[in-house]
Amino acid sequence: MKFSIMPPTLKAIYRNGTFILETACNLPEGSEVELLIQSSSVVSPPISDVESKQRFLKSLISRMQQNPIPLNAPHFTREMLHEGC
């Protein structure tokens, strides 16, 4: 069986229960892989209860409306946002 040389890592995005590759991959169909999740942010589990989700979204919208971004707020460039990363 001939295998092509694979990059050391493959990048993917998890969306709707599926990992969508952002890097080309030539693995044979049915190949077993091991995933290492690397994330700097903590993601809460989805809210499955419809009423709880509605309460959460109403609360979120209310907080956003109570704390609008001031019109005179400074505008940040991409470089400024990524300083120190």
Q: Residue 43 pairs with which residues in a beta bridge?
A: none
* pTM, to two decimals: 0.36
pLDDT higher for 50 or 41? 50
pLDDT in tens, 3-40: 555 556 788 888 888 888 888 888 888 888 888 777 76
pLDDT at residue 42 in the model: 65
Q: What angle do CA 30, 36, 31 make, to 5 degrees?
A: 10
Residue percentage of the chain with pLDDT more than 90: 16
Rounded to the nearest 10°, the torsion over CA 55, 58, 63, 65 is: -170
Residue 65 has what pLDDT?
93
